[in-house]
Amino acid sequence: MNKFFHKRLDDKLNELREKGTLKIQRHIDSPMDAEVLMEGKGEIIILSSNNYLGLSSDKSVIDAGVRALKKYGAGTASVRFICGTFTIHRELENEIAGFLKTESALTYVSCWDANMGSIPVMAKEGDAIISDSLNHASLIDGCRMSKAERVIYKHADMNELENCLKKVKNANTKLIVTDGVFSMEGDLAPLPEIAKLAAEYDAVIMVDDSHGIGVMGKTGRGTVEHFDLLGKIDIITGTLGKALGGGAGGFVASSRSVVDTLSQVSRPQLFSNGVPPTVAGSALQAIRTLESRPELVDKLRFNVVYFRNGLESMGFRPLESESAIIPIIIGETAQAIKISNALLGEGVFVTGFGYPVVPEGTARIRIQISAALDKEIMDKALAAFKKVGAKLGLL
């Protein structure tokens, strides 16, 4: 053991602890739901999970996972192309493609992998990637893995996007990469304007809609549905670890050519196992549940408006957004963490985010709304916000 190496890491952790910015992992002893049993805290209201539709603890979703586990076992114990794949993978991929109205879809063990594994394939040397400055870390890292030229446009700024497109006009493929719903702001990518520019400059669009699917659009098909662009976006990626069951897993939904190419050369497809059957079974059921119960999306939307109005009426000023993400900018990381801890003391779990997750000086608490919440629970949570807001001088 190199004790100096380990000590340097401990010193860094102690530094974070002293600054009050060390992240603490809470332990939960029950399924993810509107309320959970948190170790050492008791029953806590959850406003920090991506369980947007409340399907993580849905009986049919759990049962489907158990059935798949019993039928297929724990997994393939290998990479899919080496020893074959389960029929439930094909079923899930067909379901995703059908749901998002694309020709085909391919699953990965996470959306992180889907983004990292697909961007370097879609944009290579001689190509260009044009990326929103607030894109999710997995998109950023995926872009970094590519040998294409990379240019970044100011968040959602269409003049800058156009300038970037002009700058890379000689690239073979011009790939515009954006989140659908931006995870730390909650706002939507201006997809109609992006699509217009893409058509004008002969670019390809890739949207990561991890926070949009199950949330946006009349039937929960995401930001692309919200803007009436289903069938018109080249590549959609997303996670199965949020609204669609909340287990894990991600996907790329696109044309058959994109999906077949990724199956051939995308590195996580060639060198890593497929989604475990339990996860595939639960995610498949979650999509089917959403398709048969689109009213879950209406319930989520009602809850978002109810909670946002409640916060605003007591004097909080959250960022504007149409999604289920309601951020309140605090400023300093330590202060955001302090507010988060104070809310937890009142029985409400809301995470405080600081640098490097968000830019320095823009630390925030991020509230995430779920269809699993009912009015009584939301009122309890709002009362906690009022108490903490008054105590810490936020109102």
Ligand X SMILES: Cc1ncc(COP(=O)(O)O)c(C=O)c1O
**Residues acting as catalytic residues:** 183, 211, 242
Identify which of residues 114 and 336 has a Cβ nearer to ligand X in the complex.
114
Identify which of residues 369 and 388 has a Cβ nearer to ligand X in the complex.
369
Amino acid letter, 146: S
Identify which of residues 205 and 382 has a Cβ nearer to ligand X in the complex.
205
Distance CA 6, CA 350 (A): 32
Q: At closest approach, how far in Å is the CB of 212 from ligand X? A: 9
Q: In the complex, which residues of this chain contact ligand X (CB under 6 A)?
A: 110-112, 136, 138, 179, 183, 208, 210-211, 239, 241, 250
Q: At closest approach, how far in Å is the CB of 114 from ligand X? A: 7
Distance CA 392, CA 395 (A): 8
Q: At closest approach, how far in Å is the CB of 38 from ligand X? A: 21
Residue nearest to ligand X (CB): 110
Q: At closest approach, how far in Å is the CB of 181 from ligand X? A: 8
Nearest to 233 by CA among 252, 207, 215, 267: 207
Place of tokens 């009022």: 386
Q: At closest approach, how far in Å is the CB of 48 from ligand X? A: 12
Place of tokens 């018109």: 232
The per-residue DSSP string of 362-376 comes to: -EEEEEE--TT--HH
Distance CA 254, CA 122 (A): 12
- Is the CB of residue 206 less than 8 Å from the CB of residue 176? yes
Dihedral sign from CA coordinates of 129, 274, 371, 335? negative
Q: At closest approach, how far in Å is the CB of 239 from ligand X? A: 3
Identify which of residues 136 and 366 has a Cβ nearer to ligand X in the complex.
136
Cβ-proximal residues to 195 (8 Å cutoff; 6+ apart), any chain: 205, 229, 232, 233
- Count CB-CB contacts under 10 A for residue 190: 17
Q: Quick one: residue 146, left, alpha or beta (phi over 0 = left, psi -120 to 50 = alpha)?
A: beta
Identify which of residues 138 and 146 has a Cβ nearer to ligand X in the complex.
138
Q: Phi and psi at residue 236, in whole multiples of 5°?
A: -115, 130
Identify which of residues 366 and 386 has a Cβ nearer to ligand X in the complex.
366
205 pairs with which residues across the strands? 176
Distance CA 31, CA 110 (A): 20
Peptide bond into 359 cis (omega under 30): no
Distance CA 154, CA 160 (A): 6
Q: At closest approach, how far in Å is the CB of 210 from ligand X? A: 4
Task: Dump strand ranges (E) for 47-145.
Answer: 104-108, 128-132
Q: What is the DSSP letter of 47?
A: -
Distance CA 327, CA 307 (A): 12
